[in-house]
Amino acid sequence: MLRYLTAGESHGKALVVIIEGLPSGLPITVDQIGNELARRRLGFGRGPRMKFEADEVTILAGVRHGVTLGSPVAIEIGNSEWEKKWTEEMSPHPGQTSQKLTTPRPGHADLTGMQKYAFDDARNVLERASARETAARVAAGAVAKALLSHVGTEVGSHVIALGPVRASTAARPEAGGFAPVDDSEVRCLDAAAEAAMITEIKAAQKAGDSLGGVVEVVAHGVPLGLGSHVHWDRRLDGLLAQALLSIQAVKGVEIGDGFDVASRPGSEAHDPIVWDEAASTYRRTSANAGGIEGGMSTGEVLVAHVAMKPLATLNRPVLATVDTATKEAGVSFRERTDVTAVPAMGVVAEAMAALVLASECLRKFGGDSLQEFVRNHDTFITQVREQTARIDTDSALDPEATPLNWDAGQAFADGADAPKS
């Protein structure tokens, strides 16, 4: 299994992530991590902070000469703004703030966090609740993606809705085809929808408002059999949902066409199984289940939709709130903010999905070294292929065998006896 822990505040000196459970021999570089962090800063509608705040990546432990040692990996992401503006306000040394924040934002962690942790200053909450923390997750996700690449798994994302604009459902990146997504200003493959999204962002920016949206996470080459039907907390879809819902401002997750299939009849909701003679394997002719059945990966493309609410911090504060010091009515305070962070959220969602898949791959295949991990994966895949291709001639020729199309429910409804085993 893979475990990771992040630490740090939005305007603190640095973020840190520690990743435990990686095999030895995995190539990791600062540039790999930095490239993923740069992608997180993408997207039309981001605030000015993205332009001047650089991510200063340092690998502190667990990597020697560019490869992992099998020990915990520690990564630091320095805040370039710390020395310029925040050394006093965010100092860890004894002291006090120059100005308390006492007008909590509706929709943010401010008020509940103040109540839960007995704070009289919302900054004690917002600094950790901020989505800046996701930079540490993206760094960990870069490492997870590196591991997954050695078993042929690729994780990406694209924006399918932003504000009232929805992209064409036909636009889904194929394996090896994620690069064009980042060429779009809003990370959307549908050119017409991209233009409409940018128009909506400009209008919201002028109004001082914010926009939410939906991202589709896509994973190609996911090994069959990750997760399990045996225990509730081993189900892959449950693990993915928890990870994706943990992203700041995310309020909904569906696997495949989860909410849409709920309104369809069963005859149209599931993915038909066919035999691919050329490949000697089973295929599903649709992706309604999103590549997961019974809590296990099927080996087909994995798809999840992640919905992000509009950001709670507005450039023109109008949300009604109460001053926690005076109890007087007012409006929430203003911090530097994005009009929308949906394109960037997609990069974070990729990271979270990659971390779940990497963890389940390590649980399934094990191995103290990368070489052993890959060998175990290859052995399992070979075993599955051989078993899948085998035809049970005894069962096929048994005249007493139960027909595959025998409908137990209909038979019992008609008063028939169940077949004897």
Helix, strand, or coil (residue 20): strand
Q: Distance (Å, rounded) from C-alpha 267 to C-alpha 239?
A: 28
What count of other Cβ atoms lies within 10 Å of the Cβ of residue 348?
28
pLDDT of res. 168: 84
pLDDT at 386 over 80: yes
Q: Distance (Å, rounded) from C-alpha 6 to C-alpha 28?
A: 19
Q: Distance (Å, rounded) from C-alpha 378 to C-alpha 370?
A: 12
Among 177-181, 283-287, 392-396, where is mean pLDDT lowest?
A: 392-396
What confidence tier does 172 reach under pLDDT thresholds 50, 70, 90? confident
Between the two ends of the chain, the Cα-to-Cα distance in Å is 40
The domains found in the chain, sorted by start residue, are: 3-94+118-371 (3.60.150.10)
Q: Distance (Å, rounded) from C-alpha 334 to C-alpha 314?
A: 6
Give CA 67 to chain center in angstroms: 25
Helix, strand, or coil (residue 187): coil
DSSP letters, 330-374, are EE----S--S--HHHHHHHHHHHHHHHHHHHHHHHH--SBHHHHH
The residues near 243 (Cβ < 8 Å, ≥ 6 apart) are 352, 353, 355, 356
Region 43-60: mean pLDDT is: 76
**Could you tell me the pTM of the whole model?**
0.91
Q: What residue type is assigned to position 276 of the chain?
A: D
Percent of the chain at pLDDT exceeding 90: 78
The residues near 389 (Cβ < 8 Å, ≥ 6 apart) are 280, 281
Burial call 84-119: b when 16+ CB within 10 Å, e when fewer: eebeeebeeeeeeeeeebbbbbebbbbbebbeeeeb
Q: Distance (Å, rounded) from C-alpha 132 to C-alpha 253?
A: 21
Mean pLDDT of the chain: 91
pLDDT at 47 over 80: no
Q: Do strands 273-276 and 281-284 pair parallel, antiparallel, or not at all (unpaired)? A: antiparallel
Q: Do strands 154-162 and 302-308 pair parallel, antiparallel, or not at all (unpaired)? A: unpaired
The structure tokens 């896509």 sit at 218
**By the 8 A CB rule, do 118 and 125 touch?**
no
**By the 8 A CB rule, do 141 and 19 touch?**
no
Scanning 130-178, the segments in alpha helix (DSSP H) are: 134-149
Closest CA to 45 of 264, 235, 202, 226: 202
Q: Distance (Å, rounded) from C-alpha 194 to C-alpha 355?
A: 29
Q: What residue type is assigned to position 100 of the chain?
A: K
Quick: pLDDT tens for 142-168.
Answer: 999 999 999 999 999 999 999 999 998
The structure tokens 């432990």 sit at 61
Helix, strand, or coil (residue 307): strand
Quick: pLDDT tens for 262-308.
Answer: 999 999 999 999 999 988 899 999 999 999 999 999 999 999 999 99
pLDDT of res. 313: 85
What confidence tier does 402 reach under pLDDT thresholds 50, 70, 90? low
Quick: pLDDT tens for 204-253.
Answer: 999 999 999 999 999 999 999 999 999 999 999 999 999 999 999 999 99
What count of other Cβ atoms lies within 10 Å of the Cβ of residue 329?
10
Among 51-55, 106-110, 130-134, 244-248, where is mean pLDDT lowest?
A: 51-55
Closest CA to 188 of 207, 204, 163, 168: 168
Helix (H) or strand (E) holding 419: none
pLDDT of res. 406: 47
